A = this chain, B = another copy of it.
Amino acid sequence: MKNQEVSNLKKKFNRGDVFSDKCPSREILKHITSKWGLLILLALSDGEIKRFSELKRTINGVSEKMLSQTLKVLEDDKLVIRKSYDVVPPYVEYSLTDLGLDLSKQVIGLTSWIEDNLMKIL
C-alpha cells in the first residue's frame, strides 16, 4: 500500500464524521450540545474548581438531578473531573480536564456569538 493510501486510511479511522449516523461523534455531540452540558462547560470554562452548589447557582433553572446526571456524562467523556471529600456534609468539587478546557473555548465561541447576535435574531 502506498504511503498516501495509508495516510488516508489513518485519517479516515482516527477522525470522526458528524454527518454519519454510524459515527460515535454523533453521541458525543449530543452530550456536549445538550442544554445543560453546554452550560456546564461554559460555567467551568474559566478553569477554576467549582462546588456543586456553585454550579447550580450559576446555571439558572437546572435541577440537582439533571446537573449531577450531566456532570457524570461529561466525566465519562473525560471532559470534567469530579473530586469528592469524605466529610459531613458531603463536599464535591468539579473542574475541567485539559481536554474539557480546550473544548470550552469552542463553547465560549458559540454561546458568545448567540449572546452578541440575539437582537438580530429576535
Query: Which residues from chain A sit less than 8 Å from chain B, CB to CB?
Result: 14-26, 28-30, 32-35, 38-39, 42-43, 58-61, 77-79, 99, 102-103, 106-107, 109-111, 113-122
Q: Is chain A's binding surface mostly helix, strand, loop or mixed?
A: helix
A19 touches which one: B16, B60, B79, B107 (CB < 8 A)? B60
Q: How many subunits of this chain does the assembly comprise? A: 2
Given contacts A35-B30, A114-B25, A115-B25, contact A120 B99 (CB under 8 A): yes
Q: A25 touching B60 by the CB < 8 A rule?
A: no
CA distance A122 to B14 in the complex (A): 11
Q: B38 touching A122 by the CB < 8 A rule?
A: no
Q: B118 touching A110 by the CB < 8 A rule?
A: no
Q: A28 touching B114 by the CB < 8 A rule?
A: yes
